[in-house]
Structure 1
Amino acid sequence: MASIKQRPDGVWRARYRDAAGKEHSRHFKRKVDGQRWLDEVTASVITGRYVDPKAGKIAFSVWYEHWMTRQVWAAGTHESASMILRSIPFAEKHLNQIMFSDVQLWIKEMSSGAKPLSPKTVRNRYNFARMAFQAAIKDKLIAEDPTDDVKLPRVRRVEASMAIPTPEQVGEFLGEAPLFFRAYVAVCAFAGLRLGEASGLQLSDIDFLRKTITVSRQVQGQTKAKTEVVSPKNGSERVVYVAEPLINILAYHVKEVGVWGDEQWLFGTGGHLWHRMMAGYHWRALREKVGADEFTLHDLRHFYASGLIATGCDVVTVQRALGHALPSITLNTYSHLWPTAEDKTRAAANEMMTTALESSADSLRTIALG
C-alpha cells in the first residue's frame, strides 16, 4: 500500500508499507518527486529487488566477519579471508554507503601503491569482497553490488608466467640438495605433489612393491603455531603411480634419514611438520646454490605435469595424477603445453614422408632427410 499527501506546510509526504507491514516514508518539496520515489519502490518490489532502506546500516567489517563464519572453508582459507579484511579501506562504512568508486580506489591502491601487489593477489582479495557483497544482496541487505564492473589489473597469461625447469636443472637440484631434503624435492618433481601433500606423507603411504604413493592428507598453516594436518583439497585424494627411481630415493631416505613420530612422518625439520620451512628457507638455499633463483618449489609440480603431457598423456590422466577436481582446471593451467592441431598435422606429415622416402632413390632421400 502506498500513498502521497500534502501536509499543511506544503511538503509532500510519500509513504508505503513493506511486505512485513512496516511503514516507510519520505518527504519531498514536489509531488512529482515523491511519486517517482514510490514508483521506484513499487518496481523493486515487483522485480524482487526490494531492500529495506535501513537493512544495510551495518559496517562492512561486521557483515564480512558474520559472512565468514557461515562458510564451509578449510582453516587456511578462513585465515586468508580474515587477513584480507585488514586491507579494505571502506571496512567501517555501512554496506549501503559503499560505492563503486570506493571499490575501484581500493583496487588502484593495491595495484599501484607504495608496495604494489601482484595482479593475482589483487584479484584474490577482490573476489573475497565480491562474495561478501553478493551474499549481502541475497540476504536483502543491499540492492546492488558495488563491485560490479570494477576494472581489475591484467593477469599475465599462464604460458607467459609459468616457469618450468629443465630436466637438467631438476637433476642439479637433486644432486645439490642435502640428504634430508632430497626425497622431498623428488616427490614434488616426479610425483607432482603439492607442498602440503608432500609434507603430509607417512611411511604407510608409500607402497614400495607396487610403486605407488597414496595422497590422503596435507599439512596446512601460515605459521608453525597454526600448522595442522587436514584432508587434501576436494577431489585431491589419489594414488600416484611413480617410477622405480623415485621409489629407490624414498627407500634410501627411510634408511639413511629415517622417519619420526608414531605416525612415521617422512619429512620434518626439528620435529616440526611445517611445509613453509621446506618451501622457504631450505628451497631458497638450494636454488641459490644451483643458481636458479627464478624457480619456486611449486614449479616442480609444473615440471611433472609438462613431462606427462610431453609423453602423450591425455587431460583426464594428467588431472588424476595432479589431483585436480575437474579436467577444466587442468586445461586452464596447462592447455598451452598440449600439442596444437598444427603440431599434430606436421608430425603426422613428417612420419608419412619419412616412411615414403625410405624406399625412394638415394639422391631424393638425402635431400629430404638431410
Structure 2
Amino acid sequence: MASIRKRPDGAWRARYRDGDGREHARHFERKIDAQRWLDEVTATVVTGMYVDPRAGVELWDAWIDAWIARQAWAAGTVIAAETALRSVPWRRRQMGQVKPSDVQAWVAGETKRGLAASTVRTRLNYVQMAFRAAVLDQVIAKSPAASARPPRVRRSEASMDVLTLEQSAAVLEASGAFRPFVEVCLFAGLRLGEAAGLQLGDVNFLGRSVSVRRQVQGSSIASAELVAPKYGSERSVFVPGALMSSLSAHVAAESITAADEQLFRTPRGDLYQRNNAGEVWRGIRGRVGLPASVTLHTLRHTFASNLIASGCDVVTVQRALGHSQPSITLNVYSHLWPSAEDKTRAATADHMASIAALADSVRTVEGKPQVSGGAYR
C-alpha cells in the first residue's frame, strides 16, 4: 500500500509498507519526485530487487554470527568459515558500507602477507557466499564481492610433489614406529585425519581392505575429536597383502584387540592430529633430506600418481581417494594422465609394431617367402 499526501508545510509525503508491514516514508518538495520514488520502490518489489532501506546498517560480525548459526555445516566447515569471515577488515562496519574495492584490497593483502593462493581463494569463496546470502535475504541490494578476483593458483603439475621410489623407500626406513601410519597414507591414499581415525574394526585382514568411516578433526590434543569423514569420503580401499602384514604386526606389537580401539596413538596415548602428526613427519622429512613442500599429504598424491601410472581410470582413482565427484579428481590430477597426443602416439606405435611383426612372420616361413597373386599366405 502506497500513498502521497501534501503536508501543511507544503512538502509531499510519500509512504509505503513493506512485506513485513513496516512503514517507510520520505518527503519531497515536488509531487512528481515523490511519485518517482514510489515508482522505483514498486519496480524493485516487482522484480525481486527490493531491499529494506534500513537493512544494510547491521554490522558484519553480527550478521555473520546469525548466518553461520543457520547453516547445517560440519564442525570443520564452521571453523574454516569463521576463520575466513573473521579475517576481513570490515568486521565492525555496516553491511551496506562495504565496497568492491574493500574486498579486492583484502584479497591483495591476504596474498601479500604470504598466504597460499589456494587458501586466499577458499577464504574469498566464504566471503562471497556470505554476501550472496545477504542479497537473498534482502539485507543488501548487491554483493560487493561478486567481482573480486582471486589470486592465480599455480598449475597442479608445478605445485604438486610426488615421491620417487627411492624417496618412498627412504621415508619408510626413516619412519621408525610411525611407519604403519605412513604406510596407510602411502599405500591406501588416506588423508592425515583419516589415517588417525582408523580403528581395528576398519581393517579387513582377510579381504585386504581398509574402510574409512571417521576422521580426527582438530589441530591440538585438546581439540582433537573423532567425526564423520568429509562428505562423500566414506569408502573401502583395497590394499596389497604386504600392507595387511605390516598392520597385523603393528596390531600385535601394540596389543590392540578391541574393534573400536584406535589403530594409531602417540606414545602418550593421544590421538594423532595435524600438529603432532605433522611434527613427527617433519622429523622424518629432515632425516631423509626432503624439501619443506613435501608434507604427509604428499604420500596421498604419490598413491594417486601410482594408480594413474598403472592405468587406472578416473572413476577408480576417485573412489580410492574418496572424492565426491570425478571432476575433483580431474581438477587435481589431470596432468598425471596421458595426454591425447601420448595416447595417439602409443596406439599408433603399437599398431605399427603389430603390422611389422606380422609382415616379418609371413615373409619368412621355413626361410622362404610365401607370396602368391600379390598377397601373403
Alignment-derived partner of residue 82 in structure 1: 82
Is structure 2 residue 209 aligned with structure 1 residue 212? yes
Where in structure 2 are the equivalents of 1:113-128 lying within 5 Å?
115-128=113-126
Query: For 1:14, what is the secondary structure of its paired residue?
Result: strand
Query: For 2:45, what is the secondary structure of its paired residue?
Result: helix
* Superposition deviation, residue 28 in structure 1: 4.1
Where in structure 2 are the equivalents of 1:301-320 lying within 5 Å?
301-320=300-319
Query: For 1:56, what is the secondary structure of its paired residue?
Result: helix
Alignment-derived partner of residue 281 in structure 1: 279
1:239-293 CA-to-partner distances (Å, cap 9, x unmatched) read 1110111112212222334448883221111111122245411110101110112
Alignment-derived partner of residue 39 in structure 2: 39
Is structure 2 residue 330 aligned with structure 1 residue 331? yes
Alignment-derived partner of residue 66 in structure 1: 66
Task: Say which of 191, 199, 203 aligns to 1:202.
Answer: 199
Is structure 2 residue 221 aligned with structure 1 residue 228? no
* Superposition deviation, residue 140 in structure 1: 2.0
* Superposition deviation, residue 354 in structure 1: 2.3
* Superposition deviation, residue 89 in structure 1: 1.0
Query: For 1:298, what is the secondary structure of its paired residue?
Result: helix
AA at the equivalent of 2:328: I
Asked if 1 retains the 8 angstrom alpha-carbon contact of 2:188 and 2:239, the reply is yes
Alignment-derived partner of residue 367 in structure 1: none
* Superposition deviation, residue 191 in structure 1: 0.4
Asked if 1 retains the 8 angstrom alpha-carbon contact of 2:219 and 2:275, the reply is no
Where in structure 2 are the equivalents of 1:239-278 lying within 5 Å?
239-259=236-256, 263-269=260-266, 270-278=268-276
Asked if 2 retains the 8 angstrom alpha-carbon contact of 1:258 and 1:266, the reply is no
Alignment-derived partner of residue 292 in structure 1: 290
| Unaligned stretches of 5+ residues in structure 1 | 363-370
CA distance in 2, matches of 1:30, 1:288: 78
1:212-241 CA-to-partner distances (Å, cap 9, x unmatched) read 111111111122111110111122111111
Alignment-derived partner of residue 108 in structure 2: 108
Query: For 2:56, what is the secondary structure of its paired residue?
Result: coil
Asked if 2 retains the 8 angstrom alpha-carbon contact of 1:173 and 1:290, the reply is yes
The alignment of Structure 1 onto Structure 2 pairs a total of residues equal to: 359
CA distance in 2, matches of 1:103, 1:127: 12
CA distance in 2, matches of 1:29, 1:165: 76
Query: For 2:90, what is the secondary structure of its paired residue?
Result: coil
Asked if 2 retains the 8 angstrom alpha-carbon contact of 1:188 and 1:301, the reply is yes
**Residue 260 to residue 75, structure 1, CA distance change in 2 (3 Å):** farther
* Superposition deviation, residue 351 in structure 1: 1.3
AA at the equivalent of 1:116: G
AA at the equivalent of 1:232: P
AA at the equivalent of 1:142: I
Query: For 2:216, what is the secondary structure of its paired residue?
Result: strand
Where in structure 2 are the equivalents of 1:129-168 lying within 5 Å?
129-168=127-166
1:89-148 CA-to-partner distances (Å, cap 9, x unmatched) read 111112222222221222122122xx2322111111111122122222222222211111
Query: For 1:128, what is the secondary structure of its paired residue?
Result: helix
AA at the equivalent of 1:249: S
Alignment-derived partner of residue 366 in structure 1: none
CA distance in 1, matches of 2:133, 2:316: 37
TM-score, with structure 2 as normaliser? 0.88
**Residue 262 to residue 360, structure 1, CA distance change in 2 (3 Å):** closer
CA distance in 2, matches of 1:214, 1:54: 53
Q: Between Structure 1 and Structure 2, whose CA radius of gyration is higher?
A: 2
Query: For 1:248, what is the secondary structure of its paired residue?
Result: helix
CA distance in 2, matches of 1:158, 1:6: 67
* Superposition deviation, residue 79 in structure 1: 1.8
Asked if 2 retains the 8 angstrom alpha-carbon contact of 1:260 and 1:266, the reply is no
Is structure 2 residue 350 aligned with structure 1 residue 344? no
CA distance in 1, matches of 2:327, 2:349: 31
Where in structure 2 are the equivalents of 1:356-367 lying within 5 Å?
356-358=355-357
**Residue 10 to residue 105, structure 1, CA distance change in 2 (3 Å):** farther
Task: Say which of 183, 187, 192 aligns to 2:189.
Answer: 192
**Residue 261 to residue 68, structure 1, CA distance change in 2 (3 Å):** farther
CA distance in 1, matches of 2:29, 2:155: 56
